[in-house]
A and B are shown apart, each in its own frame.
Chain A
Amino acid sequence: MSPAIEVTDLRKVFRVRERPKGLRGTLRYLVSPPTRDVAAVDGVSFRIEPGERVAFVGPNGAGKSTTIKMLAGILHPTDGIARVLGFVPWTERKRLAYRIGTVFGQRTQLWYHLPAKDTFALLARVYDQDEATHRRRLGDLVDAFAVGKLLDTPVRQLSLGERMRCEIVASLLHAPQVLFLDEPTIGLDVTAKATIRDLVRDTSRRDGSTVLLTSHDTGDMERVCDRVLVIHDGRLLLDRPIADLRRTYIRRKVVTLLTADERISLALPGVTVTETAPHRTVLEVDVEKTPIEAVVQAALHASRLRDLTVEDPPMEEIVQAIYASAS
């Protein structure tokens, strides 16, 4: 099967103007501004299969957005090759536009004073969708995203979470095979974030669409994606399944014990108590020094357990560890 996205040695260099100091420098800047080349993306290669959901993570300025803009055909690369659904994005942008969708967290495509259904109808025209197909597709998405009651409400009266659900419906209306999501849950509350993540993942599973998601929120990656690409300084640092990433980069687990005894004490190597309350103890466990089973056994020995949870640390820490090991 041909890949949904294939990128080989992709490179993008921007020319940045630099304003010199002093009067002479300012005058020189006005006539012929000195420039400096900055490699925003520097030889990135990866391959994404149809139906895969991939997180594309990295700090600000790492090259995520530039890569996505090249894949959407907005920017030409300085060097390298990319194909999205078999199209070269920057030479076949218009044809590709019919087959990709984009959701950008802080940008809206909905008309502010009009109900979302008006934007949906316009998008059907823009994407050359016939009336019957539009009605069927909209019906499916309205059910899946539970936006039926919102369709007739002016967008300005929607909450951010409701608006975001409508934004994603708008991006999915033309049944894109590849969906680019840039910070789709930014600014949303916990419940709205969870809803959006589940909807994106379920829609991708149902439609078989490929998702490439950038986010600073580890929850987005963990709940939506199966694989993560980590980019830093324009270079691909890591390409792994999310579960594998956890196994490799997480040595610590957070264990919460609810015990019959008010307090318990566990003296094990690599185990630190981070929080205590009556009948509740939170431990940080270095699994290389003491495996989780040993911690659980010791806890059972110390007291009767009412409940036990084992959690991974947040993805931010994992990404930081990757940066640290790479640098």
Chain B
Amino acid sequence: MKHLAIAALAARHALHARGEAVARAVFYLAILVVLSSLWRALGADGSYVWYVALTEWVVLAMPLLSVEIEEDVRRGDIAYRIARPVSYLWTKVAEGLGNGLVRLAMIGGCGGVAAWLLTGTPPPRGVLLSLPLATLSFFLLVLWQAALGLTAFWIGDTQPLFWVWQKLLFLLGGLLFPLDVYPEWLQRAAYFTPFAPLLHGWARLALDPDPALSAETGLLLAGWGVALVVFLAWLYRRALVVLDVNGG
């Protein structure tokens, strides 16, 4: 319940700090315009634009939790935030979710209207089918961000690691193109990574609204989610040991 209250306040905070969400929404719209022109030039139908609208939507709504955690570690704020009767790690995750869900709604609204106008067609059934999975995927992205942020205890600057992770997500997650257009070996490799279900896994429902695909992605996301939660809890315990050895 405490974390729910933290998430709710973070959501309210995000509603009052709209500048960043607006900037992201503008960037999102620009990307949609460019990519829809590209897909049109390739002769693809509107469902590909809906695919990109979905993947970009979740990626652009993602809060930069890794940067926040890194700053807390660098400035020493983490030491003081630990001295509270609530876990720092899950507080940050709750803040990220509350903040991110508001952005998800704000940017999603813009993107939905823009994709509709650009394709001239309402969202296909698969888009609606993908929304619960998109939300689950968003939750996992927040967990990933928290894990990347916690590495600041060891490496100080998380940006190089974040950069690599982000590019892998874009490439193996199929941010701009569905994995189906990749060479077969790369497709196969991508499916073995946690990145494919994070974006392509559910966004492909815009192209093929198959309930079996939806169930498969749901299971994969749930599995990776459990693994990430366990990993994060372990990483956090290790981080506290590092804090203890190296000082706050």
Contact = CB atoms under 8 A, between A and B. Distances in A.
B49 interface: no
A212 interface: no
Nearest to A128: B85
Interface stretch (B1-9, B173-181, B191-199): B1-9
Contacts of A118: 9, 12
Contacts of B248: 65-66, 69, 74-75
Given A69-B79, A107-B77, A125-B1, A114 B16 contact: yes
Contacts of B1: 125
Contact of B246 (A15, A65, A69, A72): A15
A14 interface: yes
A208 interface: no
Nearest to B77: A107
B85 A98 contact: yes
B245 interface: yes
A15 B245 contact: yes
Interface in B48-105: 75, 77, 79-80, 82-86
A64 to B, nearest CB: 12
Contacts of B5: 122, 125-126
Chain B at the A interface: SS class: helix
A114 B12 CA distance: 8
Contacts of A119: 9
B33 interface: no
B243 interface: yes
A66 B83 contact: no
A75 B9 contact: no
B9 A126 contact: no
B244 interface: yes
B247 A114 contact: no
A14 B84 contact: no
Contacts of B80: 72, 74, 102, 104, 107
A230 B199 CA distance: 58
Contact of A102 (B17, B83, B86): B83
Interface residues of A, number: 32
A46 interface: no
Interface string A159-199: 00000000000000000000000000000000000000000
B247 A122 contact: no
Interface in A48-75: 65-66, 69, 72-75
A126 B85 contact: yes
A75 B52 CA distance: 47
* Of B1, B12, B243, B244, most A-chain CB atoms within 10 Å: B244
A73 B9 contact: no
Nearest to A96: B83
Interface string A114-138: 1000110010011110000000000
A97 B83 contact: yes
A93 B9 CA distance: 25
B13 interface: yes
B79 A111 contact: no
Interface of B: 1-2, 5-6, 9, 12-13, 16-17, 75, 77, 79-80, 82-86, 243-248
Interface of A: 14-16, 40, 65-66, 69, 72-76, 93-94, 97-98, 100, 102, 104, 107, 111-114, 118-119, 122, 125-128, 154
15 contacts: A40-B247, A66-B248, A73-B83, A74-B80, A74-B248, A75-B244, A75-B248, A93-B82, A97-B85, A107-B80, A112-B17, A113-B17, A114-B12, A114-B13, A127-B85
- By Cβ-Cβ distance, the 8 closest A-B pairs, closest first, are A113-B16, A97-B85, A125-B5, A72-B83, A113-B17, A14-B247, A74-B79, A122-B9
